[in-house]
Structure 1
């Protein structure tokens, strides 16, 4: 968890404690407040100590129980402020993968130029349906989330219409590992590699592949997307980060440009894809 995120969570917890102690009718102890809310008293101390992130429902219940409902808007704004940047998968996927895909689609729809890097998976913008289906299934299992896989696949396919709009540019870099990772059956990966080969030469998509044998100036890790010059989207196992400050956008842009120095394009990229494809012919 990032230091900024944790500091913000601790600050919210300190404010919750302050409100509890400044209750108009007299301060409440943690166990007393827990009793009013029907919560285990440990939850009070976890929230106040920044060990657990409050939900909007928690904040509404808290402010009602201490007789200060007007404080809800302030607390909700604090929560929204740090959850805008760090969006836990547990919360995002509580309603399934389709809503997450639709929120991403909305951001991409208002974007003209995308710079993307993926080190271990084919980017969603150029996935075919069968490949996407297996990716969603793996993550649904990992996070024990609702398995709205077909709805998520359709939402992701809808995003790909962006590639066929005049004036758009998708500059994407992929590490060779993504061409060989069997997140799906070999036959599905073979079809996906054929799709990649067909994308080379599109006027809206510039595909570069960083081969295993290329010298690299930075560790090829941590996939991310830069939308115009306004937003970076990157993922970790526990959360997705949306970063809109100038310093982080500049950092990720520098990383993308550094990785690009090691990438192969055109016929050379075709050769890397064909080499990966040929290894699948005997696997079925």
Structure 2
């Protein structure tokens, strides 16, 4: 199938955080840009919009991005939201995904091809492992919604490549450049679009002593975890001062 109007909705996952490129808006590239580059080679007059902004919770994504996306009349939409919600122990997953389900239904009702994602499996990630049950429940609800509306599902939960720490950026929260490349491949494969993308080579794993590991963890807490907790306590977001990277069709 040839797609001519691609709109991407979501949070940091879709904005491209973890895949730095100072030459691009917000200083990142990401899997959606990589998918758009492939699709643009296959269709004359191809247009791409990316409305995703880091830090957005699911209801913010829907409130800010859904209506603009519908107005753009895309024939391909990707949407991933909820990752910033399910990390909070008090989240009402049923109510959360009910709102998500309604949005997915509105998107598929237009005739657009809609791609949705499960959340990754946090097994082996100490900072998220305690919430693995919430991730699993969210994922099952998303799978049901995808089936109900005929959306295409990219099952991030089952992608075991991401058990490798090199698929994650230094902040341990976002995919690295190889991680974004791998996700672009998964999306194109799910769409059954021919492409020549291949996994990027991973850096060699260095042998790390217990003392070096402790020092690295301390640096991570100061550099990434601490600021993240502070934002949560103060009700601020890393995306508060940012705008969508590609707000109008880019050709």
Give your verdict on TM over 0.5: no
TM-score between both structures, scaled by the size of structure 1: 0.30
Structure scoring higher RCO (CA < 8 A, sep ≥ 6) equals 2
The structure that has the greater radius of gyration is 1
